[in-house]
Every structure is written in structure tokens, then in C-alpha cells.
Amino acid sequence: MKTRITAVLGFFATIFVLNAPAAPQKPNVLFIAIDDMNDWIEPLDGHPQAITPNLNRLAKMGMTFRNAHTASPACHSSRVAVMTGVRPSTSGITANVFKGTGPNWRKNPKLANVVTLSQHFRNHGYTAMGGGKIYHSLQWWNGSENDPDTWDSYFPEPHKPIPFQVRPPTKDVQAHEASCFGRRPLGNHLFGWLPVAEDDPGMSDYKVVEWALSEMKKKRDKPFFIAAGIFRPHIPWEVPAKYFDMYPLDKVQLPSHQEDDLTDTWDHGRRSWHQWVAQNDQWKQAVRGYLASITFADAMVGRLLDGLQQSGRAKDTIIVLWSDHGMHIGEKENWEKFTCWEESTRIPMFVVAPGITKAGSICDRPVSTLDIYPTLAALANTELPEQLEGESLVALLKDPKAGKRVQPAISSYRRIHGVRTDHWRYVFDPGSKIEELYDHRKDQGEHDNLAYMPEHQAILELHRSLLRKYTPVKTPEGKATPPKSFERLPNNRIRRTNYFPMAKAVAEAKAANKRGEPAPILGRKTAPTASKKPGVKKLAVIDPAREGKVRSGGNALEVHLTFRNQSKAKALIYWINTSGDRVQYNEINPGAEVRQRTYSGHYWLVTDHDRKALGIYKTENQDGLVHIR
Ligand SMILES: [Ca+2]
Ligand SMILES: [Ca+2]
């Protein structure tokens, strides 16, 4: 009898092995980081018009996390959290930085000696290669927070991780500028949405994908960890015209939003961005640019998936795709991220783990980007480093419903925090002391703040205690009381007493512009503190060795600079930003001239074609002329 049972079990065991290939012991890892991609993609259904066939394909290959959130809604802090596995509220790295080159986050005592994700794989017999934006960098910033010592190789350069990206034709930029009034956020059209005169191969992200594909194909003795960073759909929303053509402007739908949504919330301090968009009737254009950029990024993901398939390594390669945070496209009168609401925190996150995940599976538990490191370390059968504060998702990958999940998804940005559980979001700002509570079963847009309703006090207490458990934050306790500048309404909602409606701000700005006056921002006058002198002044050259010591500032007076290239070689023009860094702007051919809108007190740098500085120029309260010789 015993023999017979063994024989039967042996038979079934054989069938099992034949049908379900075991998970590889040392799987390769393809780690795809997308910048600023929110939940508008088809698998997350955040916008009815987004076209993302390749993310759909990825969703069918493995698991989609539909309730995934960033640990911190800013590029730098999000990426440091993913790569170190340390919670932003533990390290204190909860915002962006824009200067210096090299891993400045290593100066943080909590992170000085941590083993990063790529180092962990190298320590366990892998070759770890990176390309594009993995740590913080920007298309227009000549530096990065990358740590070169943690990779075997980096494309194109460890301190300049984003390859050159062409901008839209100057005439298109100037025409768009001329059609708008008021001060465009960021300047230099970086908050912009025009097509580039290139097809895919002319794009920076295409080059990063080309590099990743070449590494996948190489014959190697060790398994690989390939990290490929795609920069779009980060601003500026500048991609080939064919992606804009997929979204005819007259059909573009605005995201679902509510007027005066901010009356019962924290103030994100970025409403002036929305006013500029609204007063210039640019909301639909911006939505179109973001959708076009999402579809472009999706095409890049498609090329990575195709390449992996063609390399023959798909069956022993884990794919993880994540975005560093979400994106507001005008919801709550905000643009970009930097909030702890769903728009900023919810992200695309997918895992394909051969032999572990089921094709087309879905997980609705709240998970965090902090979980990526422990998950990959576990899938590669390595011990989890001590510093990790996230949770391995392997149990959920095997069974998204029964798999154990302990932590909520917590997001921290500067001093504010968001806690996401299965159906609720809690937001707390220790500065203003405001609390917010939203019920996602009824209110996916997070419009109705329930935190001050006695009937939700128990849920509020639960979320306060979760925030206290996982972060050093001291939350209020006991009955929720409306903070300063808020009143309690009879229905136990709260309302800001000093609220300035956006519709009023836009109407006042439009009227001022019609009268030829500077547009007020949210009712506040923004007139320059100086007046412009007539005529044009030839600007004196400042020693280029002063680069790094000068920063743009000034009095908000708009002036124009004319750059005249009288040399025999091409010259490059950079704006020196308020941190003192170069911001790539224009190229001028020999004999040509470029006219540039700027402000008094701003610095401009001219270089030769090898980016060697030739001269620095400071604008005054007058239009200026720069001769390049
Ligand atoms: Ca980002
Ligand atoms: Ca609201």
C-alpha cells in the first residue's frame, strides 16, 4: 500500500513539475523606472482616453498592483527610498534637491553606509547596470544624485544619466509664449506641451532603451540586474507629433475634478500654476501633452518587452515596473506632485515573476514603492538587508487575496503625510494641524473631507495610530477640532474662512491683462518692483570662472536679450537658474541671432559647442544685447 501511495504521489509531482516551471533560483531582473507617470494608464483606468497597449500587455504577463503608492511624492526622495528601502520619514529625505553632483543623500547618517538595491544584487553574484534616470536628475540639470560606485556600468554617464533631449522648434515655443500672458511657471517652457520635430529614435528615452536592449542580448556568465529609467511623461511634455495626433484637441477630456475642492483641505501652495493654465485656457492642451507623453513612454516599455522576449531570457527574468509618484493635472488646482493625495501618490506598479505570478493577476491591497527592494531580494532568494522598512510582496504575488499584508502605504512629502489603507486615505499636516479623511468606496476623487465627523472618529483614530506606528510623527489625539482659519459647518465638515476662489482669480487676471496691466495672482498684485529703461544695452562679459557663484534673482521686470553670434562656430546658450545651475536653452549658428525673453537680474551663460564656458551676462532693467565673438 505504502509503495502504491508513493508511486501515485510521484506521478502527480511529475505532472506538477511539467506544468508549472519552478521559479528560477537566480532570476535576471529588468527594473523599469518611469518618471511622473500617474494612474491614467489603461490598466489603472484613471483617464478614459489614455492609450497604453504595452502596459496592458505587461499587465497580462503578471500582477498589476491597483492600489500602489509612492513612499514620497517627489523624484529625489521617492528614488532614494526605492533604492535604499529606507522610509523617507526615517531618513528625513522627503523632498527634491536640484544642485550638486554625486550621491549627496549619502551624507545622511541613516543612509551613509546602506547597501542599495543594485549593490545588493552585485553582492549576490549579479552584474548590475543602470541607464537613464534612476536616482534624481533632470533633462535640464547637468548633474544627478546617482551613486556611481553602486553599479558595474552606467549609461550614458553616471553623473549625466539622461541623454541629450531635443526641444521643440524655437518658432513654435515663441508662438506659444506670445499666445499666453502672465508669468509661466518655471520659465523656459519647461512647463510646456509642444511636439518635437523628431521621431522616436531622436528621443533621449529611445537611446536608454537601445542601451538596455543591447545589455539584455549579451552573453554573460552572471545573471543581470538592468535598471532602465524612462524620463517621460515628466515635464516638458515634448514628444514626437504622432503621439499628439492620437489625441485630437477638441476631443480631449479634462480629468474629473471639483471646483473649490480646497475649501476643506491643506493648501499645497501651488495654485498659481493652475491660475496661469486657466487664465490662458491651456488645461486641455496640457492634458493632451501629458497623454501624448504617457503613450510615448508606453511605446518605450513595449520596446523593452519585445527586446526581452527576443533575447530568449523572458522565462528567467523578473520584470518590475514602477513610477516614482503620480501627477496632478489640475485636480485640486495643482500641477505635478508634491501632495499626499491620491493624484500624487498612486502609481503604476507591475511585477512579472516567472513561476510565481499568474498571468493577468490583480492585487488591490495597499502597497508601497518601499516594498520593491524586499520583494526583489526575496524573489532572488537572498537575505533581506537590515535597513529595509518595506514588506516583501511575495505572498501577495502568489495569492493577491489570501497573501499577508501588514503595513498601510504611507507617503511623506516634507512635513505632510498620507496613509492609504484598503478603502481610506488619511492626510495630516503637522504644521497647520489639519487632518483629512476620505472614503474611497464613495469618493475616489477625495473631495469630501470626513475627518471632523463624529461618526468617523474610530476610523480617524485607526489611521492616526498607523501613522504614529510607522513614522515619528505626532498626530492629534481625541476629538478632531478644526484648525486655525477653518470653521466647523453644521454637517460636521470644515470650511476655510480665508478661501480665495480660483474662478475669481482667473477673471481678475483676464481683466487686468485686457487693461494692459500685470496679472494679479490669486488676487495679489505682481507688478515688478522696478520700471524698464528705454533702449538696448550691450551687456559686459563676466568672467566665466564665476559660474557656480552667480544665481538668477531680481525684481520680476520682464526684459529681452538678443544673442548675436558673430563667431565662426556654433554657440550654446544656458540660463543660470536660481540655484546657480546651467539650464540648457538654445543653439545659435554662426551669423545667427536669437531673441530671448527673461527678467532683470537673471544670468545667462554662453558656451562653445563642447559646453566650455565663454562668458556670463547679467540682465539689467533694460533690453540687452550679447555679442558672441
Ligand atoms: Ca518624478
Ligand atoms: Ca474638498
Handedness of CA 506, 507, 512, 515 (dihedral sign): positive
Set 75, 325, 328, 363: catalytic member: 75
Name the one residue in this structure whose C-alpha cell is 494692459.
Answer: 516
pLDDT at 136 over 90: yes
Tell how far the Cα of 316 is from the centroid of ligand 2, in angstroms: 47
Tell how far the Cα of 211 is from the centroid of ligand 1, in angstroms: 21
The residues with which 427 forms a beta bridge, in sequence order, are 418, 436
**Burial of 473 from C-beta contacts in 10 A (0-12 / 13-18 / 19+):** middle
The pLDDT, as a whole number, for residue 557 is 83
DSSP three-state, residue 187 = coil
Candidates 424, 411, 426; CA nearest to 476 is 426
Name the one residue in this structure whose C-alpha cell is 554662426.
Answer: 590
Sequential DSSP letters for 142-155:
EEE---GGG-SEEE
Residue 575 contacts residue 598 (beta carbons within 8 Å): yes
Residue 435 contacts residue 427 (beta carbons within 8 Å): yes
Sequential DSSP letters for 435-494:
EEEEETTT-TT--S--TT-GGGHHHHHHHHHHHHHHSS-----SS----TTEEE-TTS-E
pLDDT at 15 over 50: no
pLDDT at 19 over 70: no
DSSP 334: -
pLDDT at 21 over 80: no
Segment 18-40 shows an average pLDDT of 89
pLDDT at 463 over 70: yes
pLDDT digits (tens, 9 = 90+) for 140-190: 987 899 999 999 999 999 999 999 999 999 999 989 988 998 889 998 899
Tell how far the Cα of 493 is from the centroid of ligand 2, in angstroms: 10
Name the one residue in this structure whose C-alpha cell is 515663441.
Answer: 174
pLDDT digits (tens, 9 = 90+) for 309-352: 999 999 999 999 999 999 999 999 999 999 999 999 999 999 99
Tell how far the Cα of 257 is from the centroid of ligand 2, in angstroms: 10
Tell how far the Cα of 619 is from the centroid of ligand 1, in angstroms: 32
What integer best gives the mean pLDDT of the chain? Answer: 94
β-bridge pairing 224-230 and 317-323: unpaired
Domain boundaries, the chain: 27-258+272-411, 416-496, 536-628
Distance CA(470)–CA(476), nearest Å, equals 16
Distance between alpha carbon 140 and the CA centroid of its chain, in Å?
A: 15
The pLDDT, as a whole number, for residue 401 is 93
Tell how far the Cα of 35 is from the centroid of ligand 1, in angstroms: 4
Residue 197 contacts residue 242 (beta carbons within 8 Å): no
The pLDDT, as a whole number, for residue 525 is 78
pLDDT digits (tens, 9 = 90+) for 61-82: 999 999 999 999 999 999 999 9
Tell how far the Cα of 592 is from the centroid of ligand 1, in angstroms: 36
136 included as an active-site residue = yes
The pLDDT, as a whole number, for residue 130 is 98
100 or 236, which is more confident? 236
**pLDDT band, very low/low/confident/very high, at 409 (cuts 50, 70, 90):** very high
Write the CB contacts of 216 (distance below 8 Å, at least 6 apart in sequence). 30, 224, 226, 307, 308, 311, 313
Q: Which CATH class name applies to 536-628? A: mainly beta
The pLDDT, as a whole number, for residue 578 is 65
- And the C-alpha cell for 441? 468606496
Candidates 152, 128, 121; CA nearest to 382 is 121
Segment 5-20 shows an average pLDDT of 48
Beta strands in 76-165 (DSSP E): 127-132, 137-138, 141-144, 153-155
Residue 378 contacts residue 23 (beta carbons within 8 Å): no
Candidates 340, 194, 348, 341; CA nearest to 257 is 341
450 or 521, which is more confident? 450
- And the C-alpha cell for 354? 516567472
Residues in the chain: 629
Please tell me the number of the ligand nearest to residue 267's CA. Answer: 2
Distance CA(88)–CA(332), nearest Å, equals 24
Q: Which CATH class name applies to 416-496? A: alpha beta
The pLDDT, as a whole number, for residue 2 is 42
Strand order in the sheet with 409-413: 409-413, 416-420, 424-428, 435-439
Sequential DSSP letters for 255-290:
PP--TTGGGGS---S-HHHHHHHHHTT-HHHHHHHH
75 included as an active-site residue = yes
Residue 188's region, left for phi above 0, alpha for psi from -120 to 50, else beta, is left
Please tell me the number of the ligand nearest to residue 369's CA. Answer: 1
**pLDDT band, very low/low/confident/very high, at 360 (cuts 50, 70, 90):** very high
Tell how far the Cα of 447 is from the centroid of ligand 2, in angstroms: 4
Please tell me the number of the ligand nearest to residue 341's CA. Answer: 2
Candidates 81, 143, 145; CA nearest to 107 is 145
Phi, psi angles (nearest 5°) of residue 284: -65, -40
CATH number for the region 27-258+272-411 comes to: 3.40.720.10
486 or 2, which is more confident? 486
The pLDDT, as a whole number, for residue 552 is 79
**pLDDT band, very low/low/confident/very high, at 16 (cuts 50, 70, 90):** very low
Distance CA(237)–CA(250), nearest Å, equals 18
pTM over 0.85: no
The pLDDT, as a whole number, for residue 579 is 63
Set 120, 136, 325, 417: catalytic member: 136
Please tell me the number of the ligand nearest to residue 447's CA. Answer: 2
The pLDDT, as a whole number, for residue 509 is 94
pLDDT digits (tens, 9 = 90+) for 206-261: 999 999 999 999 999 999 999 999 999 999 999 999 999 999 999 999 999 999 99
Please tell me the number of the ligand nearest to residue 135's CA. Answer: 1
Q: 27-258+272-411 and 536-628: same fold?
A: no
Segment 471-482 shows an average pLDDT of 97
